[in-house]
Amino acid sequence: MNGEDFISGKLILIDKEKKWSSFDVVNKIRNAIKKKFSIKKIKVGHAGTLDPLATGLLILCTGKMTKNIDNLSILRKRYLGTITLGATTPSYDCETDINNTYPTSHITEKLIKSNINNYIGVISQKPPIYSAIKKDGKRLYMYARAGEKIEINSRKIEIFDFKIVKINMPNIDFEISCSKGTYIRSIANDFGKNLNSGAYLSNLKRTEIGDFKIINASKVDEFIDKYLN
């Protein structure tokens, strides 16, 4: 690949590592392209963000391919993850510390599996306050970090498939396929509430976006070593 290829437009599948933000990935790939081919300016964007603590498939588009980002971002997503029962965190995942604990002795495998039915189809979901959604021109996580309370509107999302892979209390491994805009962290938080307990998302990996699969993706450094060094 040469500089013109990236300017004309490339679609890049990246296997994002934990603690990288989606912007970190975009920025590193963009800078590597500019340095390798002595390009002053090139567009690079991603088609659907991943939280820093989540790993897995991230689609990057370069150059003229960035025009397709909106079409790619609406594709259904598939994830593997772990819900931990018996506690909650303000961010609904491991970004923040546990703020409350709850009993789990009443929770059976049958109860867990029957709870799945609450999430299949079109449902209303309230996004976490620790998210990048804007309200009144300000990102929600900014309100959260400032300790400000704010009303968050629910929105419609769709869950196409939700399966329990393994139960090893207090952890539940799952696989889920969902629409754009779904917060798996909110699924985890609601899952605990519906079990008369608490829960948070302790692990998440995106494995598919539409027909694009994680098996065909490269780590950031692997991609740079192969094409941009």
DSSP string for residues in the chain = --HHHHHH--EEEEEEPTT--HHHHHHHHHHHHHHHHT-S---EEESS---TT-EEEEEEEEGGGGGGHHHHHTS-EEEEEEEEESEE-TTSSTTS---EE---TT--HHHHHHHGGGGSEEEEEPPPSSS--EETTEEHHHHHHTT-------EEEEEEEEEEEEEETTEEEEEEEE-TT--HHHHHHHHHHHTTS-EEEEEEEEEEETTEEGGG-B-HHHHHHHH--
Candidate list 15, 24, 51, 221, residue with the active-site label: 51
* 51 is known as an active-site residue: yes
Q: Which residues are catalytic?
A: 51
